Amino acid sequence: MNKINRIVLLMIVVIFSSKSNAHGGHHQIPPWQAPTTWPDRIVATVTNSPSDSFSVNWRTSKTVGVALAEIVPATADARFDLNAKTVKATSELFDPAVLATPEGQEDIVLNQGLDKVVYHSVTFSGLKPDTLYAYRVRGEVGKWSAWYQVKTAPSTGHVKAVFFGDAQTGIRSHVSRTIAAAAKVAPDADLLIHGGDLVNTAEYDQEWAEWFDAGGRSYRMVPSLLVPGNHDYVNFSVRKGLGKREGGKLFVADKTVTPWWRAQFTLPIEKGLPLALHETVYAILYNDNLHIFAIDSSGIEFDKQMKWLAKELAMSKAKWRIVTMHHPLFSFVGGSEHPAAKERRLLLANVLAEHDVDLVLTGHRHTYQRAEKGENLARFNVGQAHQVDTVFVVTASSTKRGDTKVEGWDRFSEQTKGEYALTRYANKTPIFAVVEIDEKELRFAAYDPVGNLYDAFSLNKKGKQKTIKNHAAASGPIRDGDALGPYKKWDDLRH
């Protein structure tokens, strides 16, 4: 074989090797995605009774028929584990290469070549409030995870939660540093809240592997509360050639939350809601100071969700009430708002106003925005408290970024006679939030991935009056335009 022929042959091998490793072909499975008989993708999640229980999910290869978990109160003893209680897991065989659709099974091109796996779950119940527990999970006989520690909720007192907006893109490579920064800023967090769009393609197993790898020990040691975003859904109508916005209503296309959602997470079930909303819409009374309401804002059974939310809020006696969902009630970035935004906004805004919701945490727009609803709002007012009704936060951890349109906010504020105002924003900057509450105050702080404080405020209540005080960070330089470093679009991250 001469030199030219060898070069041609080498080029052919490289081309076909590249094709075989493309997203749509048989790609080489990275070690952090491939299942084994050891447990992986371990995540702790909230229950509807966080003072005496929490759930744990994990994954193994398909050969593991029986999986176990152990739990014991954590002590300083070298052999704290000697009196651990063993719990048998509930296990589910899962095929990542096949999707069940209304028309039958469909091959998932992105996952061809992946073998079946087993997802396991346990709910540890009957625990003591405000107590540190150690747990571990098992795959094949003798193959245990490390011991991880989770603290149950106190019946009253201080709570600290970390909120992450969209992970979605650059999850393992870039979002991981935001999660690591949060672990340093809030090492004593009681709860992680994820605002949807955990991945970019709901059916792509490699992205789910990235999400778990990015979170690591944080996901295993701090219970997560999760809501799905539009990217966490599988849209069947797209497969039929129908558009997402057919009929001019919010996501009316035939769809379902990705099968990975309920296989990988054990979340509360509200029995009065339709089956389609189970483990995506639920309420968590964390303690007598904090009540959190999770909404599925992708549009499924939205009227029923609002009736449920109004009823739950009316019964709540907690000091502070937080609503979390994926889509903002409103926000302004590049591009048009969804045609159903006004309809949804009116429904939800009425419920929030009637039942005195304090804070709304959302994602979706890939920018940081903090807004207030109230009367005679003092925009950018630092240090002096003023009256407020509800505070709205939009943020994301993703490399995919949007741009805040301040002029759009100004128009909206005029349309609503000054009831809404944009207080703080940032573009092309991943942001996570830390929320601390007690019986006296709700404190909010937003940080960038290197741990710099970017925004902060506190809320106080006296009777029916609520006031907000912006802290010094709220008046710092705005991260926008020329103040930022160069930016390159996210979709080249794997090349």
The dihedral region occupied by 484, where left means phi > 0, alpha psi between -120 and 50, and beta the remainder, is beta
Average predicted confidence (pLDDT) for the chain? 88
Domain-by-domain residue ranges, the chain? Answer: 40-149, 156-492
Percent of the chain with pLDDT over 90: 70
pLDDT confidence of residue 238: 67
Q: For residue 77, what pLDDT band results from cuts at 50, 70 and 90?
A: very high
Q: Is the dihedral of CA 296, 297, 299, 305 positive or negative?
A: positive
pLDDT score of 399:
92
Residue 492 has pLDDT above 60, yes or no: no
Q: Are 72 and 80 in contact (CB under 8 A)?
A: yes
Q: How confident is the model at residue 495, as a pLDDT?
A: 47
Q: What is the pLDDT of residue 379?
A: 56
Contact predicate 405/334, CB 8 Å: yes
Q: Distance between CA atoms of 235 and 344, rounded to whole angstroms?
A: 20
Residue-wise pLDDT tens digits, 281-340: 999 999 999 999 999 988 788 899 999 999 999 999 999 999 999 998 887 765 555 556
- As a whole number of angstroms, the distance between CA 301 and CA 280 comes to 12
Q: What is the pLDDT of residues 389-435, one digit of tens each?
A: 999 999 999 999 888 988 888 888 888 888 888 999 999 999 999 99
Closest by CA position to 212, among listed 264, 134, 138? 264
Residue 166, strand partner residues: 396
Res 27: pLDDT: 61
**For the structural domain made of 40-149, what CATH number should be given?**
2.60.40.380
Give the per-residue pLDDT at 334.
58
In this structure, whether the domain defined by 156-492 belongs to CATH 3.40.50.300 is answered with no
Mean pLDDT of 118-137: 98
Task: Decide if pLDDT at 17 tops 50.
Answer: no
Say if residue 187 is exposed, middle or buried (CB neighbours under 10 Å; 0-12, 13-18, 19+).
exposed
Cα 94 from Cα 96, distance rounded (Å): 6
Residue 82's pLDDT is 97
pLDDT of 16 over the 90 cut: no
Confidence of residue 86 (pLDDT cuts 50, 70, 90): very high
SS3 97: coil
> What does residue 263 show for φ and ψ, rounded to 5 degrees?
-75, -35
**pLDDT by residue (tens digit) across 169-206?**
999 999 999 999 999 999 999 999 999 999 999 999 99
Q: Give the β-pairing of 54-61 and 117-124.
A: antiparallel
For the ranges 214-218, 381-385, 465-469, the lowest mean pLDDT is seen at: 381-385
Q: Do the Cβ atoms of 66 and 136 come closer than 8 Å? A: no
**Predicted local confidence at residue 491, as pLDDT:** 63
Confidence of residue 489 (pLDDT cuts 50, 70, 90): confident
Residue 433 is given by DSSP the state E
The model's confidence at residue 493, banded by pLDDT at 50, 70 and 90, is: low
3-state secondary structure of 418: coil
Q: What is the percent of the chain where pLDDT is above 70?
A: 87
Distance CA 58, CA 50 (A): 20
